[in-house]
Structure 1
Amino acid sequence: MRVAVLAYHNMGIAGLDALERAGYEIASIFSHQDDPGENCWFGSVRQWGKERGISVERPEEIRGAEWAEKIANFNPEMIFSFYYRHMIPEEILRIPPKGAYNLHGSLLPAYRGRCPVNWVL
């Protein structure tokens, strides 16, 4: 199954690894710019994609028709989001015929946003 993935840091890499092991065709990856101050703790989604010959787009935001069209052109059947740091616009969530799925580090909507573990504690 062809998928598009929005991912960041170690949870992003873990999600990509799981999809790869399960036999999904990862058509495109969208991430964030690597932060050199965080690289001592976290892996690079960009590097993961580079090692497999998959291009990784790292836009400031994925809002607007340009990004919706770009993702739609990959023809994903599903979209997965693993610790991607921005809200994904509705126009992108509607692209894949089999849905879009998000991994979040807490119960939603009670502990939404970045660093949800902090809010739980």
Structure 2
Amino acid sequence: MSLRLKLAAITLDCADPEALAAFYQRAMGLEAHPESNGDFAGLTREDGLFIGFQRVDGYEAPRWPGQGRPQQVHLDFTADDLDGAEAALLEWGATKPAHQPGGERWRVLLDPAGHPFCLTRS
């Protein structure tokens, strides 16, 4: 039997779903899901991919690069202008950890809830 799955949704745990959704909405230009509320917020992409953000009481951010609290999820994004994209993301609330294993090829940033993600050239 051959099986081909289509990714339909990604959900990230966080302390403030609306704030984290606003960060990713600004970064990716996605539409806010109409059923977002204080405990859950979502974004949808034109092809139907849903990115959700759910409130978790006592949420603790992953520790990059250590594994004391592992990253649990890791998103990768591409940008034509790596420096410009990094500057915008930092302005919007991302942070840049000291540990940068990609050199000039890619950059690791942390979203406002502490999830690491990579930014690389298109």
Do they fold alike, i.e. is TM over 0.5? no
Taking structure 1 as the reference length, the TM-score comes to: 0.30
Taking structure 2 as the reference length, the TM-score comes to: 0.30
Q: Which has the higher strand share?
A: 2
Q: Which has the higher helix share?
A: 1
**Larger Rg, first or second structure (1 or 2):** 2
